[in-house]
């Protein structure tokens, strides 16, 4: 295979390999939206982008829903 001048980043041995697979089906329209977004922002690694996007959303949602001792109204007083 020809190398197009791109260098691959080496994954440290301390990082465990990904072994869990998740599959998601999209409609043609949804797939076109994602492809257009990736092309516009010049994202070449679709799997990493998808993983980071989903996990970032989940992390933010969990922080928002984290139980607190007081309700927001009481803390704003």
Q: What is the pLDDT of residue 8?
A: 73
Q: What is the pLDDT of residue 20?
A: 92
| CA pair distance 44, 48, nearest whole angstrom | 9
For 12-33, what is each residue's pLDDT tens digit? 778 788 899 999 999 999 999 9
Span 59-68, average pLDDT: 85
DSSP letters for 13-54: TTSPPP---------HHHHHHHHHHHHHTT---HHHHHHHHH
pTM, 2 dp: 0.66
For 27-58, what is each residue's pLDDT tens digit? 999 999 999 999 999 999 999 999 999 999 99
């Amino acid at each position: 295979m020809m190398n197009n001048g791109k260098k691959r980043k080496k994954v440290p041995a301390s990082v465990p390999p990904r072994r869990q697979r998740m599959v998601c089906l999209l409609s043609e329209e949804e797939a076109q939206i994602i492809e257009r977004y990736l092309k516009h922002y010049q994202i070449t690694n679709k799997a990493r982008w998808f993983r980071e996007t989903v996990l970032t959303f989940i992390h933010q949602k969990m922080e928002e829903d984290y139980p607190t001792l007081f309700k927001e109204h009481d803390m704003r007083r």
